[in-house]
Amino acid sequence: MRYMMIVLLEFYPSWLALPRERRRAYAASLQEILTKYSQDVNVRFFDAEALPGKDYTDFAVCETGDMQKYHFMWEEIRDSEVYTKGYMKIKDVVMGMENAFQAYEGDVLGMK
């Protein structure tokens, strides 16, 4: 089964106060984590700060068939300096399963 998560993020003014070179270095460290899990988790980042959005500045769209790897990836992100130094926070996660009703009908109800 495929899972899709929209992870709402908030980057704080302390992030914007960093020199762009420092932000790029932090972004590169996050990219290393994403690359480590890229075989199992597809991640795309979107900037939403200049657009209507309540309580978030950015969001990530994550797709995976392996929830454990997805969880491990976010554990590593939460252990990263970007997170532990208080530059960003996960605000909310919207999650869904692709065609879950079809799996239910086939696996539980025996419908073909």
What is the value of pTM for the model shown?
A: 0.90
Q: Is the pLDDT of residue 52 over 80?
A: no
For 95-105, what is each residue's pLDDT tens digit?
Answer: 999 989 898 99
* pLDDT number for residue 112: 82
Question: Per the CATH hierarchy, to which homologous superfamily does domain 3-107 belong?
Answer: Apc35880; domain 1 (3.30.70.1030)
SS3 content of the chain, % helix, strand, coil (to 5): 40, 30, 30
Report the percent of the chain where pLDDT is more than 70: 99
Q: What is the pLDDT of residues 24-44, one digit of tens each?
A: 999 999 999 999 999 999 999
CA angle 37-90-32, nearest 5°?
30
